[in-house]
A and B are shown apart, each in its own frame.
Chain A
C-alpha cells in the first residue's frame, strides 16, 4: 500500500534505485564505451535513446489495450484496470514524443532534415496523435465508470487502427522507394558492445516505464479517492438542502 506521504513504497524505491543505476550504465556504455558507427560517427549514439523509447511506447500501448480488454471483460469491472490503462497511456505518449523528437534530431544530424516522410516516422506520428486523442477522451469527465468504459473501448479501437495505419503508410512509402534510405536506423551495423548497450537501453527504459506507471496509477487512485470523498461531502450537503 502507498505510504502516507507519497506514492512510493519500499518496493518502488528499490526499483527506482535500480532504474537510476541502469540508466547510468546505459549512459556510460552508450556515450563512452561503445564504438562510433563507421558511417554516422558519433551521432549513432542517438539510437540508445530513440530505439528504447519507441520500444517502451509500444509496450505501454499494448498494456493499455490489455488492461482495457480486461476491464471490459471482467464481471466486477475493477477500476484499477482502467487506472493502469490510463497511466500506461499517458506514459506511452511521453515515450512516443521522446522517440519522435530524438528521431527528428537524429535525422537532422545524419541527413540534414528534421523530418522525412518515411513509413516508420509517419506511423509513429500517427501513433502519437491517436493516443493524444485517447488522453483527451479520458478527460471528458463524468463518473469513474463512464470514463473507464469510454476509454477502454477507445483503447481497443486504437489497437485495431494502429496496424492498419502502419500498413497503409508503409504501402504508401514503398511506392516512393526511398523508405530504407531515409531511416538512419536501418544502416547501422552493430558490434558486440553496441548491441549490448542497445539491450541495456531496452531493459533500462522498460524498468523506468514500470516505475513511472506504478507511481502514476497510484496518484490516479488517490485522485479518484479524493473525488469520492468529495462525493461524500457533497451527499451530506445535498441532504441538508432538504427543507431549506
Chain B
C-alpha cells in the first residue's frame, strides 16, 4: 500500500491565526477519506496544505513523496483542489471557461467533451455565461475542470454543496470511478450522512487537529 499523504504535527497559519494546530494524517492510495468536523475546524486549510497552496509553519508533511516544506510547488500539477470558490471567470461562458482551462493543462478536445458529458453539461448550458449559472451548475463546471486535470489526488471541499439529488449521485459515481482509475480522494464535508456511504474512512478534524 502506497502512502500518498503523510502529515505529522502540521501547524499552518492564516496570518497570525493557527488554522491547523498540529495535525496528523495518513492517506493511502485508492482511499476515499472523509474529513468531518464543525465549521472552523480547519478542514479547508488542511486541504489547502495538501494541495501545496498553504505553507507549513511547523511539523512535516509529504504528498506523493514530495516534501511540503521545501518543494510544495511540485505537488501542484499532480493534485486537484475544489475549494469553496469554483475557479470560473464570470464573464466567460461555460464553454470558454472549460476551453481556457483545458489549454492551460494541455488537455485535448475529446477530454473536455468527455468531462462535459460526465457532468451533464449540454450544448445549451455550455453557451451560458458563468455569472448566470446557479450555484449547482457552477459546481458542475468546477468538477468538469477537475476531471480534465487528471489529478492523482482529488481534494474536495464541500463538493456536494449546491448540487441537487441527481447531481450528488453523479458526483458519488464520478468519485468512485476516479478511484478505480487510480486516484485518491480526500473530501471535507459537514454533511455527515451523505458522505458516509461514499467514504472508505472517516477522520474527524476539530480545533485545527485530528481528533
- Direct chain A–B contact by Cβ atoms under 8 Å: yes
- Identify the stretch in A52-60, A171-179, A181-189, A232-240 within 8 Å (CB) of chain B at 4 or more residues: A232-240
Q: Is B83 interfacial (CB-CB < 8 Å)? A: no
Residues from chain A with Cβ under 8 Å of B208 in the complex: 235, 238-239, 241-242
Measured between alpha carbons, how far is A238 from B19 in the docked complex, in Å?
8
A238 pairs with B15, CB closer than 8 A: no
- Identify the stretch in A4-12, A14-22, A139-147, A157-165 within 8 Å (CB) of chain B at 4 or more residues: A139-147
Of the four ranges (under 10, 10 to 19, 20 to 34, 35 or more), the interface on chain A belongs to 10 to 19
Q: Is B116 interfacial (CB-CB < 8 Å)? A: no
Measured between alpha carbons, how far is A231 from B59 in the docked complex, in Å?
14
Check A242/B15 contact, CB under 8 A, given A145-B55, A235-B21: no
In the complex, chain B residues 194-211 whose Cβ is within 8 Å of any chain A Cβ: 206-209, 211
Residues from chain B with Cβ under 8 Å of A243 in the complex: 206-207, 211
B16 pairs with A242, CB closer than 8 A: no
For B15, give its contact among A141, A145, A236, A239 (CB under 8 Å). Answer: A141
Check A234/B17 contact, CB under 8 A, given A240-B207, A241-B206, A243-B207: yes
B22 pairs with A235, CB closer than 8 A: yes
A234 pairs with B16, CB closer than 8 A: yes
Residues from chain B with Cβ under 8 Å of A145 in the complex: 55
Residues from chain A with Cβ under 8 Å of B206 in the complex: 241-243
Check A234/B57 contact, CB under 8 A, given A241-B207, A242-B207, A243-B211: no
Q: Is A230 interfacial (CB-CB < 8 Å)? A: yes
Residues from chain A with Cβ under 8 Å of B57 in the complex: 143, 231
B211 pairs with A231, CB closer than 8 A: no
1/0 per residue, CB under 8 A from B, across A91-133: the answer is 0000000000000000000000000000000000000000000
Question: Which positions in B face A, CB cutoff 8 Å?
Answer: 11, 13, 15-18, 21-22, 41, 55, 57, 206-209, 211
Question: Which positions in A face B, CB cutoff 8 Å?
Answer: 141-143, 145-146, 227, 230-231, 234-236, 238-244
